[in-house]
Amino acid sequence: MSETDKAYFAGILDGEGWFSLQRVVRHRSSNSPTYSASIGVSSTSKSLIDWIQGKVGGTIRVRLPKDGDLGNKIRYEWRAQISVTQTIIPDVLPFLKIKKEQAEVMALLLEMRSSSGKGVRVPKEVIQKRECLYLRLRVLNDTKHAIKSLDDRRRVA
């Protein structure tokens, strides 16, 4: 992507995008959850979503309006999983404004992920760091949290 494309894409992510981590515990006896990272954009503009997919790959989903939702349009969702996400975050990070911290948290988690191979026992300290990053991203993505003081309001803004 050109620098202009990276900046444009960062603006789209800031406005219409999301950074997501899912925690998966495969077995109850396992103390080592895995974290699935993805980023995405939702828009009613198919041409925008097609542009994103053409630039960075990923998949597209079509979301039809629910029955009874008058006036709602078809939404198109672009989503990228870990392999694409690992290459996109460093490209857009310098340009992000609103979701910069979410991208930084995800980048840290992805960095930790790549340092351990499949089937390798993950040290307890690494599991705790991953969990802290996962919880931090949840807080950053939570738009329903209560603001208790002026200091909290400044941190949110």
Q: In terms of pTM, does the model score above 0.75?
A: yes
Q: What is the CATH number of the domain that holds 35?
A: 3.10.28.10
Kindly report the three-state secondary structure assignment for every residue of the chain: CCHHHHHHHHHHHHHHEEEEEEEECCCCCCCCCEEEEEEEEEECCHHHHHHHHHHHCCEEEEECCCCCCCCCCCEEEEEECHHHHHHHHHHHHHHCCCCHHHHHHHHHHHHHHHCCCCCCCCCHHHHHHHHHHHHHHHHHHCCCCCCCCHHHHHHHC
pLDDT of residue 45: 95
Q: Is residue 150 part of a domain?
A: no
Q: The domain containing residue 42 runs over which residues? A: 3-143
pLDDT of residue 42: 94
pLDDT of residue 43: 94
Q: How many domains does the chain have?
A: 1
pLDDT along the chain (157 residues), means of 10: 95 94 73 81 96 94 79 88 84 95 90 63 82 88 56 46
pLDDT of residue 2: 94
